[in-house]
Chains A and B, each alone.
Chain A
Amino acid sequence: MNLHVNGKTHEVDVPAEMPLLWVLRDRLGFTGVKFGCGMAQCGACTVLLEGEAVRSCITPASAVGSGKVTTIEGLSPDGSHPVQLAWAEVDVVQCGYCQSGQIMAAAALLASKPDPTDADIDRAMAGNICRCGTYQRIRQAVHRAAAMQRRATP
């Protein structure tokens, strides 16, 4: 089948039910996408499918169809997406393992809600676990990214 990932089409020969997570990691080398639970409980595997945040660990490869997949590697060419910049400014990361998923979830949130409230952030991000407990700075960074995005698109 053909998969459209980060602006490129990849031909892969995989079982239809193989989770997108493992196609991305083991076949295409997008290891920024992380395995955390395998059952959509932790959000580490979050990618964008047509701009929507999805859990790639429970998304069968066959369900992707012609949809455009964006992983952390494709979020911006040079790490300059407002969410990535805000994450660095607020010094969010600790171990960093969950942060690809956190950033993709935040990017999806900001795409649909440019100025989220704390309650919006709680709702959108509660599915992304961080064992280091960076949640407080994640909240701050989402607000910071929203402000950057507003400045960039008047």
Chain B
Amino acid sequence: MTGMTRRSFLRTTAIGGAGLVIAFYVPRRTVAAVAEPPKALPPPDAFLRIAPDESVTVLLAHSEMGQGIWTTLAMLIAEELECEWSRIRVEHAPAAAVYAHTVFGMQMTGGSSTTWSEFDRYRTVGAMARDMLVRAAAKRWKVAPDQLKAEKGHVWKGKEKISYGHLAEAAAKLKPPAHVTLQAPAEWTLIGKPVPRLDSREKTTGAAQFGIDVHFDGLRTALVARPPVFGGTVKSFDASAARAVPGVEQVVQVPSGVAVVARDFYSASQGRDGLKVEWELGPGAEVDTARLLADYRQLARSPGPVALEKGDCDAALGGAARRLEAEYDVPYLAHAPMEPLNCTVRIEGGRCEIWTGTQFQTNDQAAAAGIAGVPPERVTVHTPFLGGGFGRRANPRADFVSEAVHVAKAAGVPVKVVWTREDDIRGGYYRPMFLHRIEVGLDPQGVPVAWKHAIVGQSILAGTPFEGMMVKGGIDGTSVEGAVDSPYLGAIPARRVSLHSPRNPVPVLWWRSVGNTHTAFAVESMVDEMAHAAGADPLRFRTALLGSGPRHLKVLALAAEKAGWDQPLPKGRARGLAVHESFGSVVAEVAEVSVEKARIRVHKVTCAIDCGLAVNPLGVEAQVQGSVAFGLGPTLRSALTIKAGRVREGNFDDYEVLRLDEMPEVAVHILPSQERMGGVGEPATAPVAPAVANAVFALTGQRLRSLPLRLT
């Protein structure tokens, strides 16, 4: 389906009658009968197609990158539509304003927000389709719609039935309902039940199409030689050896470097190896992470913009019976999704067509339009499966898409730009390095009376289009989330959180669970230090402090109970815990560790999560297990170091991530909860580092304050 937008495809099909489409042009006044109406009403476009072959195709406004929404959003529609689950097909929607996030306003996947933000819209779409199908059947039978019921893919009049496939065409011609009533939770047959993934088969047979698998006649592969330091530019280059490589067709300069365009990956990589490029390095060559950390330590002792202040922190610290102070630091991290970044672009006949695994369709569409010189509506974005995202494929600067459009434009042929693993790991857009300095004052009983917290690290949002909207008073909310909203701090009378956001040439970005990756480590480590200073059990100390956070108390209690917190462990093992709220969910984790020859081994992580309603508990369990694994990499191993501007790590041999032989048993307990629905893709990531660090302290007496944790 090339050269044709999804929308025009839908229209053509509807008119041609080859496939029946229920296109939802939902009146803006349609309000679902729910306690809390959707913030944005289902927009006027197609979310659902029902075909004569009885297939029910759900269009996803978000990207499937492993988190399971391919299944979850389909469940929401199917719950209301009363279709047969086996008839469900799923497709990614094209880039279009109508698929904008119901809360964030742009088409995107992130912030662990897909399921809660679509909970009403997708159910409403299903209910509207059911209503139209029932009315179509009523017309055919010449009875009132309330004489009929919809069930198992058919509309029923007593024992007579007509299938949805047979009704779809007539239903599509009806006016969409102005009002629908959604099923009560007691009637749900899918929501809340463990439902296996719909994408298992294609992902276990090699059939699943990722961006890197896109192929069509005339498509070329390109690799780009990028500067060895961030912000560098091309001074000059000699492409003679590169051009001599069989299969290499063109060498073109683009803003990010020099692209070698060839008939396949192998030729392009051989060609790139043969390129001789002189670089203008610029200030990026000065970056040195060891020096940066030393600078951050200095900065943390100077006043910075205040993110949170209550009481007189300095006076309370001065008058405290006891003071603790500690610095915690975390390094730059690459996302390193298993599918290396790639983007396919074809510019032809005043149109630009893009195939790429993106979390940011409309953002990338706009960037591509600007470069290709066409209006955004003439840029088609196809989203294949994403081989992992973790935030890397949600770049406000649209780096990998923009670059590919530049290459296709310069080369004048359709091009797939592929990044190698080294390109990815050395390519920037990292979780920023951060330093936290925390000073705490305790009263004679060990109760905290002051919390003074300085955070130092680059702003993710600075310099992006989101800066104006999301950075307030010098505070990038993503740098302090998880600290300023910590219920522990709410319980301490004098508290201050300040932030320094130094700039440097290293590009940074959100990395699964964003600021929480470092704030949870710092806060939950310090709370543990306070517990030990007070001679208190870490669980009881937290419970006493968390008066204002009942959700925290519940998951803490559940995790502690399931982990057997008060049960003795064999010699050589110890437990540590952490609890943290992020993305609307609260997760407590108890880690059980041992140390063998200075090597930390994590044997078990017991998790309790309160995410409100768990739409698909099987998926929630998978996300929690996966988040723990993702968080354990940087807890135990992953770190990037930069010297003279060069990122020293380059592949999985030196940028180590968690492997199967280090995967602990992760037990996931979902708290039955009436709380507002939160996210599950990220919230279990952040608590694991402090839980493990706290366990290591319990076992060895060594308080490790740097990630990755290294025993001396």
Give the interface of A toward B (CB within 8 A). Answer: 14-15, 18-19, 22, 25-27, 29-39, 41-42, 44, 71-73, 75, 79, 84, 87-89, 91-100, 103, 121-123, 125-139
Contact B205 A97 (CB under 8 A): no
Contact A33 B206 (CB under 8 A): yes
Cα A148 to Cα B206 in complex, Å, equals: 21
Question: Quick one: closest B residue to A80, CB to CB?
Answer: B205
Complex A-B: 23 CB contacts under 8 Å: A22-B264, A32-B205, A34-B210, A37-B652, A39-B421, A71-B206, A79-B201, A79-B205, A92-B204, A93-B200, A93-B203, A96-B203, A96-B208, A97-B385, A99-B203, A122-B660, A129-B338, A131-B337, A131-B390, A132-B338, A132-B626, A133-B626, A134-B625
Contact of A131 with B204 at beta-carbon distance under 8 Å, contacts A31-B215, A93-B199 already known:
no
Contact B339 A99 (CB under 8 A): no
Contact of A96 with B199 at beta-carbon distance under 8 Å, contacts A33-B206, A91-B618, A135-B663 already known:
yes
Q: Which residues of B contact A127 (CB under 8 A)?
A: 659
Q: Mark B181-203, 1 if CB is under 8 A from A, else 0.
A: 00000000000000011011111
Contact A91 B660 (CB under 8 A): no
Max chain B CB contacts within 10 Å: which of A73, A92, A97? A97
18 additional contacts, CB 8 Å, given A36-B338, A36-B339, A96-B387? A26-B264, A32-B205, A37-B421, A71-B206, A84-B205, A87-B204, A88-B201, A92-B204, A93-B197, A94-B626, A95-B385, A99-B203, A128-B660, A129-B338, A131-B657, A136-B665, A137-B622, A139-B663
Contact A32 B264 (CB under 8 A): no
Contact of A133 with B630 at beta-carbon distance under 8 Å, contacts A34-B338, A93-B204 already known:
yes
Cα A30 to Cα B215 in complex, Å, equals: 11
Q: Which residues of A contact B618 (CB under 8 A)?
A: 91
Q: Which residues of A contact B338 (CB under 8 A)?
A: 34, 36, 42, 44, 95, 97-98, 129-132
Does residue B85 face the partner (Cβ distance < 8 Å to A)?
no
Does residue B629 face the partner (Cβ distance < 8 Å to A)?
yes
Q: Closest 3 A-B residue pairs measured CB to CB?
A: A32-B206, A133-B629, A97-B387
Cα A88 to Cα B67 in complex, Å, equals: 16
Max chain B CB contacts within 10 Å: which of A22, A44, A94, A122? A94
Contact A36 B205 (CB under 8 A): no
Q: Which residues of B contact A18 (CB under 8 A)?
A: 266
Does residue B278 face the partner (Cβ distance < 8 Å to A)?
no
Q: Which residues of A contact B209 (CB under 8 A)?
A: 31
B77 vs chain A, min Cβ distance (A):
20
Cα A49 to Cα B628 in complex, Å, equals: 34
Contact A19 B201 (CB under 8 A): no
Contact among A36, A103, A130 with B340 in the assembled complex (CB-CB below 8 Å):
A36
Binding site secondary structure of chain B:
loop
Cα A84 to Cα B663 in complex, Å, equals: 22
Q: Which residues of B contact A15 (CB under 8 A)?
A: 246, 266
A48 vs chain B, min Cβ distance (A):
13
Does residue B651 face the partner (Cβ distance < 8 Å to A)?
yes
Contact B197 A36 (CB under 8 A): no
Cα A135 to Cα B652 in complex, Å, equals: 17
Does residue B459 face the partner (Cβ distance < 8 Å to A)?
no
Q: Which residues of B contact A99 (CB under 8 A)?
A: 203-204
A150 vs chain B, min Cβ distance (A):
20
Which residues 624-678 in B have Cβ within 8 Å of A in the complex?
625-630, 651-653, 657-661, 663, 665-666
Question: Quick one: closest A residue to B221, CB to CB?
Answer: A26
Give the interface of B toward A (CB within 8 A). Answer: 64-68, 196-197, 199-210, 212-213, 215, 221, 246, 264-266, 336-340, 385-390, 418, 420-421, 618, 622, 625-630, 651-653, 657-661, 663, 665-666
Question: Quick one: closest A residue to B64, CB to CB?
Answer: A95
Contact among A30, A34, A37, A72 with B651 in the assembled complex (CB-CB below 8 Å):
A37
Cα A31 to Cα B342 in complex, Å, equals: 14
B359 vs chain A, min Cβ distance (A):
12
Contact A29 B215 (CB under 8 A): yes
Contact among B64, B204, B212, B651 with A39 in the assembled complex (CB-CB below 8 Å):
B651
Q: Which residues of B contact A87 (CB under 8 A)?
A: 200, 204
Cα A92 to Cα B203 in complex, Å, equals: 10
Cα A145 to Cα B213 in complex, Å, equals: 28
A39 vs chain B, min Cβ distance (A):
6
Contact B660 A19 (CB under 8 A): no
Contact of A27 with B264 at beta-carbon distance under 8 Å, contacts A91-B196, A95-B388, A139-B660 already known:
yes
Max chain B CB contacts within 10 Å: which of A32, A33, A122? A32
Contact of A95 with B65 at beta-carbon distance under 8 Å, contacts A41-B653, A79-B201 already known:
yes
Cα A87 to Cα B135 in complex, Å, equals: 42
Contact of A84 with B204 at beta-carbon distance under 8 Å, contacts A95-B388, A125-B660 already known:
yes
Contact B204 A88 (CB under 8 A): yes
Cα A121 to Cα B660 in complex, Å, equals: 9
Cα A120 to Cα B671 in complex, Å, equals: 35
Contact B204 A136 (CB under 8 A): no
Contact B340 A88 (CB under 8 A): no
Q: Which residues of B contact A130 (CB under 8 A)?
A: 338, 629, 660
Cα A129 to Cα B666 in complex, Å, equals: 18
A36 vs chain B, min Cβ distance (A):
5
A10 vs chain B, min Cβ distance (A):
15
Question: Quick one: closest B residue to A42, CB to CB?
Answer: B652
Question: Quick one: closest B residue to A78, CB to CB?
Answer: B205
Contact A95 B386 (CB under 8 A): yes
Max chain A CB contacts within 10 Å: which of B205, B210, B266, B385? B205
Cα A88 to Cα B266 in complex, Å, equals: 34
Q: Which residues of A contact B206 (CB under 8 A)?
A: 30-33, 71-73, 100
A143 vs chain B, min Cβ distance (A):
13
Question: Quick one: closest B residue to A126, CB to CB?
Answer: B661
Q: Which residues of B contact A137 (CB under 8 A)?
A: 622, 625
Q: Which residues of B contact A84 (CB under 8 A)?
A: 204-205
Question: Quick one: closest B residue to A100, CB to CB?
Answer: B206
Cα A29 to Cα B213 in complex, Å, equals: 9
Contact among A19, A71, A89, A135 with B629 in the assembled complex (CB-CB below 8 Å):
A135
Question: Quick one: closest B residue to A33, CB to CB?
Answer: B206
Q: Which residues of B contact A97 (CB under 8 A)?
A: 210, 337-339, 385, 387-388
Contact of A95 with B387 at beta-carbon distance under 8 Å, contacts A32-B205, A36-B338, A37-B421 already known:
yes
Question: Quick one: closest B residue to A29, CB to CB?
Answer: B215
Contact A22 B385 (CB under 8 A): no
A142 vs chain B, min Cβ distance (A):
10
Contact A94 B266 (CB under 8 A): no
Contact A129 B266 (CB under 8 A): no
Contact A94 B622 (CB under 8 A): yes
Cα A137 to Cα B628 in complex, Å, equals: 13
Q: Which residues of A contact B652 (CB under 8 A)?
A: 37, 41-42, 129
